[in-house]
Amino acid sequence: MNLRRLLPGIAVLACLLIAACAPPPELRDETLLDETGLITGDPCEAPCFRGITPGETVWRDALTIIEDDASFENIQSQEDENTDAIGAIWNVRGGPECCQMVAEDGETVNLLFIRTRPNMTLEEVIDVHGDPSYAVGTPVTDDQAIVNLVYPDVPMIVLAFSAGPETGEVSQDSEIIGMLYTTPDDMNLFMQTNSLHAWEGYDSFNTYRSADDAEYEITPSITVTPTPAS
C-alpha cells in the first residue's frame, strides 16, 4: 500500500470513495458512520474527530482511541516500506469501511478521512462554519457526484453529494457524505497543487465541475512528484 496516495487531492478524494471497485458503491450509504460532530462540535470541533486532531495527536494515542471506540471494528494498520508513513483503515461496526488515518512522519497524525451516512446537510455546515472558500466537483457515475468544499482555515474538505454531473445541484439540502481533516501545511500543499473554483453559493453541479476547459480561480503553482507504489 502506498500511503502517500492518501495525501489530500481531488483525484484522491474520489479514489477513496470509489476505490478500485466496479461498480462504484452508493455514496449515500445509511450503513456508514453516524457522525454529526462536524456540525455539533461533539465531542470536539473540526478538524478534530473523536479526540484526534491532525498535527497534534501522536499516532499511538490516535490508534488507541480508534481501537477503544465501540463504533469501530476491523482496524488494520500498515507501515509504508519506503517511507516513515503509517496508516490505518477501519470499518463501522457491522458495516462497511468508513475511515482512514495517516501519519506521514510515522509519529503524528496528519490526515483523517471519514465517510458518513447522509445525516447532515450543507446548510447546517454553512450555519456552523460559514461558506467554503472553494469548491470542485468530481463525477462518479451518471447519477452520483461529489462536490469537494474547501475550508482552508479550518483546515478541512467537506464532501457533499450531488445527483450526477448533468442534473445535479449544490443546494442547502445537499447531503454531506464525508470529511477530510488535515494540517495547515498539508492544506497549503493541497491549495498549491489543485485547480479549484471559488465558492459562488448554491448552484448547479456544472458550476463547480472539474473539467479541462473550466475556468478556475485557483490553479496549481507547484507540481508534486509522484512516489513509487510499494
Mean pLDDT, rounded, for 116-144: 94
Residue extents of the structural domains in the chain:
3-208
pLDDT greater than 60 at residue 18: no
pLDDT greater than 60 at residue 22: no
d(CA 10, CA 100): 16
DSSP H or E stretch at residue 124: helix 122-129
* Exposure string for 176-212, b = 16+ CB within 10 A, e = fewer: bbbbbbbbeebbebbbebbbbbebeeeebbbbbbbee
Band of pLDDT at residue 230, cut at 50, 70 and 90: very low
d(CA 104, CA 4): 8
27-83 pLDDT, tens digit each: 899 999 999 999 999 999 999 999 999 999 999 999 999 999 999 999 999 888 888
Average pLDDT over all residues of the chain? 87
145-163 pLDDT, tens digit each: 999 999 999 999 999 999 9
pLDDT greater than 50 at residue 119: yes
90 contacts: CB under 8 Å, gap ≥ 6: 66, 72, 73, 74, 75, 76, 97, 98, 99
